[in-house]
Amino acid sequence: MELLAPIVAVTVHPERARVTRRGRVALVAGRTELVVSGLPTSLLDDSVRVAGRSDEPVRVVGVDLARRDLVDAPDDRVRAAEAAVRDAERALGTVDAIDTGDQARQEMLVRLARRAGDRLAVALADGTAGVARVAEVGAAVAAQLVEVAQGRRATEERRAEVMHALHAAQAELGRLRSSGRDRREAVIGVEADTDGEVELELTYVVDGAAWSPVYDARLVDDGQVALTWFGMVVQSTGEDWPECELTLSTARPTVSATVPELDPWWVDVRRLPVPVMAADMPAPMQGSGAPSGRSRGHEEMWEMTEPVRAVEAQVVEGRVAASWQLARPTAVPGDATPHRTTVASFTLPARLDHVTAPALSPVAHVRATVTNTSGQVLLAGPMSTFLGDAFAGTTVVEQTAPGGEIELALGVDDRVVVERELAERTPHRARLGAQRGAVERWRITVTNRRAEAARVTVRDRLPVSRHADVKVVDVALLPEPAERDDLGRLEWVTLLEPGATWEASVRFGVQHPKDLPVTGWR
């Protein structure tokens, strides 16, 4: 008996999806086999589960999966793509036939022109034909050749259009082949004590589906960022998902759902192999020895390998994973096209400042340090940033727990003017006639042209020696940086009022032996 069980819910995981079908059927007392057809070939056999409810006692005896090769493609889009390929092939055949006829006509006209030309030349020579007749025949043949050439050129243009349509139809058909004629069906055995209705729910996990987070971050004002979280759903499972309850989950159903266990990490002395003569080799053991075709090493490896367990994809919420059920039914075709849907929207507090590294580029970047007060874990993914309605750029955010911070670059602020210039450069005095080098002093200025105060972080660097004979000397920093590390990186933080200018001086020298070539320093 056929059980019509359409898709009513889908839970999409980062790498797979759990599909739920539901249907009602009237049963008679006794055993009945219900067939749910049209299942995709990508479903995992071990993940199939059946549950049900009924007013009368009904028992599920078992579930069997079968494979069917249908005569007709079950998907309308596949049938349409196949029809488009056939139409394009027929059109191409028509174009080829027309071109073949035009080519034959062209060859005939060329032969005719050659023969007529020879005869007209003879007639013109003996006076039986005039020049006007020769010109008339030549013009007629030339007009026919021009007409044929134009027709063949139009045919070539038509062939290019038909070939483009054929390639497009073939590509579309290739994308839809997964929902072709090869299908699965579930045969559910049930037993009922009395006549009545039963509602059955069939669930299974399929490969070929995934979702990933995508974000939009929009700076609303100086203290808030409007964050919109989207889920990009892609599926090519072999079946279209109609408008149904769609849930995005971070749970990852895996084939081997076991806790990892570590084997001992042995460290030993390598032993050289001892040559064994053929006469010294022991004879193969009989009876209880290792079976032929498999060595003892392979047996031990097989025994140490964890058994592959059945997949049981379940949405886990709370401690291990989170899930989001979309607010309205959503349809996702199985054409591998990304479909974006809104997961959540938050308004998060942000701390704005400017960051500049004038040694790399004399510009000031606007930075927003956003605190995740949403109470949810923000997954890693790409983020588009906006300053109001203006697009600022894209970045990638890492997974951020509640209370964590996200650093966003919101573009360049031209109203904060940054300059870095070489104030002076003096050669080092030789010491004992064997040293040389130079001393440089760089001046950094930052001017706030904004109407409000700006908090600016200025980053610069000192050279760092990687050789004992190359020394960085005469370092003088004014003002003293707020941070300085062993890699020569410097950082100042200043609060500039409107119209104010901040200045720093960075002085250093590099000293090295005269005959020692130095890289990274001019």
Residue type, 350: A
CA 227 to chain centre: 22
**Whole-angstrom distance, CA of residue 304 vs CA of residue 300:** 6
Please spell the DSSP secondary structure of 354-375, one letter per residue. Answer: EEEETTTEEEEEEEEEEE--SS
**Whole-angstrom distance, CA of residue 219 vs CA of residue 175:** 40
Each of the 522 residues of the chain gets a pLDDT tens digit; together they read 888 899 999 999 988 999 999 998 888 888 888 888 888 888 888 889 988 888 878 888 888 888 776 555 555 667 788 888 889 888 889 988 888 888 888 888 888 877 777 777 777 777 776 777 777 777 887 888 888 888 888 888 888 888 888 888 887 777 665 444 567 888 888 888 888 888 889 999 999 899 999 999 988 876 788 899 999 999 988 888 999 999 998 877 654 456 667 777 777 666 666 555 544 444 444 443 434 443 434 333 333 333 322 222 233 345 556 788 888 888 998 878 898 888 888 889 999 899 999 999 999 998 989 999 988 888 899 999 888 778 888 888 898 989 999 988 888 889 999 999 999 888 766 554 556 678 899 999 999 999 999 999 999 999 999 888 888 888 999 999 999 999 999 999 999 999 999 999 999 988 888 778 888 876
Token pair recorded at residue 162: 């038909």
pLDDT value, residue 176: 61
**Whole-angstrom distance, CA of residue 511 vs CA of residue 473:** 7
Q: Residue 54 phi/psi, 5° resolution?
A: -160, 155
Please spell the DSSP secondary structure of 422-446, one letter per residue. Answer: EEEEEEPPPSTTSEEEEEEEEEEEE
pLDDT value, residue 319: 53
pLDDT value, residue 431: 54
| Whole-number Cα distances in Å, 133 to 16, 121, 256, 287 | 82, 11, 92, 108
What angle, 0 to 180 degrees and rounded to 10, lies between the N-to-C axes of helices 131-176 and 76-126? Answer: 170
Collect all residues with Cβ–Cβ distance below 8 Å to 228 and sequence separation of at least 6. Answer: 215, 216, 218, 342, 344, 345
